[in-house]
């Protein structure tokens, strides 16, 4: 069987990219699999891709490339939903390339991985293929305007797949899709290439984008109380993002410079998790929570805020 995944940008870093590559690798044991990237901005992907999985980039964003000189490159997209937060990154050239690819796509199963890409899937994919929209974000994370744009397109698909049962229930209740299966399939992770944690090191690890919604500031405040009673323990936060400077200032202000550290981005992260005895998640919301299952796969227990939707269901 031939399976095609549609990704926003397979050359970046993010949970959707990582989980899609994990799934593509697993399916490649039995099927012919390819990942179609709407765009590319660099020569090679940041994540290692199984050589059995074919990677097909559609539009090259690099300024020196021919695509960046195409007149359509400078026209705003008409097919990608306007309310999708990535709309500003799409253009008529991407519209045209996606439509051309999908109309001639020989795959038996075609899987979209974000709302705007799922609209492309609905508009252009052949009806003979099984067309599946994955939702890596929560229903409630979408604006009302985007939900209104998505509903008529999602009704033309074969299935909507969320990462949690809780989110699937929300879709069934708030976006009825007659004749379209709505179900949950949790994200999976491969077996790590490192030995599991021994659980003896006095290290708490956390990982993710350094943005406000991940609430690493809350985690640092909590650790300040812990280290006052247990000074041997260390907090290591892995990731990069806009909040790096603010978090660094918080660490210094609380006198944690010797015990809390911003480690930067690590990929793969498993070797770092295996050095810890606990992984902490302090997010305001998580549609799933890949770091949770990655840490558990390394034998590390996880403590999390009870945020919607993934952590409580996983833990």
**% of the chain residues with pLDDT over 70:** 100
* Sequence-ordered alpha helix ranges (H) in the chain: 15-27, 92-103, 115-124, 144-154, 165-174, 216-229, 244-253, 270-273, 290-297, 310-314
The per-residue pLDDT for 267 is 78
Give the per-residue pLDDT at 297.
Answer: 94
CATH number belonging to domain 203-314 = 3.40.50.2000
In this predicted structure, what is the pLDDT of residue 185?
96
Q: What is the DSSP string of 156-204?
A: TSSEEEESSHHHHHHHHHHS--TT-EEEE-----PPPSSPPP-S-S-EE
CA distance 171 to 315: 22
The DSSP-derived string for 259-286 is TEEEEE--SS-HHHHTT-SEEEE--S-B
Please tell me the CATH superfamily of domain 2-184, with its number: Glycogen Phosphorylase B; (3.40.50.2000)
DSSP 208-220: S--SGGG-HHHHH
Query: What are the start and end residues of each CATH 3.40.50.2000 domain in the chain?
Result: 2-184, 203-314
Packing angle of the helix pair 290-297, 15-27 (nearest 10 deg): 50
Task: State the pTM of this model.
Answer: 0.88
Quickly state the pLDDT bin for 271 (edges 50, 70, 90).
very high
Distance CA 238, CA 232 (A): 20
Segment (H or E) for 7: strand 2-7
- Residue 178's pLDDT band, with cuts at 50, 70 and 90, is very high
pLDDT tens, position by position, 297-315: 999 999 999 988 889 999 9
pLDDT above 90 (res 268): no
25: which residues sit within 8 A by CB, 6+ positions away? 50, 52, 53, 190
pLDDT for 239: 93
């Amino acid at each position: 069987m031939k399976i095609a995944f549609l990704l926003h940008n397979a050359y970046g870093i993010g949970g959707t990219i990582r989980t899609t590559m994990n799934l593509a690798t697993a399916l490649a044991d039995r099927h012919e699999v390819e990942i179609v990237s709407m765009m590319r901005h660099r020569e090679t992907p940041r994540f290692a891709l199984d050589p059995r999985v074919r990677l097909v980039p559609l539009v090259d964003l690099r300024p020196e490339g021919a695509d960046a000189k195409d007149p359509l490159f400078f026209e705003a997209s008409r097919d990608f939903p306007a309310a999708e937060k990535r709309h500003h990154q799409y253009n008529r050239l991407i519209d045209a390339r996606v439509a051309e690819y999908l109309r001639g796509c020989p795959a038996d199963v075609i899987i979209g991985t974000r709302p705007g890409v799922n609209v492309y899937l609905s508009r252009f994919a052949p009806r003979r293929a099984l067309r599946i929209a994955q939702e890596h974000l929560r229903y409630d994370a979408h604006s009302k305007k985007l939900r209104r744009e998505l509903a008529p397109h999602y009704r033309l698909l074969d299935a909507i797949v969320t990462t949690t049962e809780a989110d699937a229930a929300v879709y069934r209740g708030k976006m009825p899709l007659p004749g379209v299966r709505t179900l949950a399939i949790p994200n999976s992770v491969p077996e790590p290439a490192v030995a599991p944690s021994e659980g003896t090191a006095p290290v708490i690890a956390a990982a993710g984008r350094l943005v406000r919604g991940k609430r690493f500031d809350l985690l640092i405040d909590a650790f300040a109380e812990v280290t006052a009673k247990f000074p041997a323990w260390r907090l290591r936060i892995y990731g990069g993002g806009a909040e790096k400077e603010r978090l660094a200032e918080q660490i210094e202000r609380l006198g944690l410079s010797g015990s809390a550290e911003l480690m930067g981005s690590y990929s793969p992260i498993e070797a770092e998790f295996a050095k810890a005895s606990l992984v902490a998640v302090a997010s305001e919301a998580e549609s799933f929570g890949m770091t949770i299952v990655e840490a558990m796969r390394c034998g590390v227990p996880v403590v999390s805020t009870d945020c919607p939707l993934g952590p409580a269901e996983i833990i």
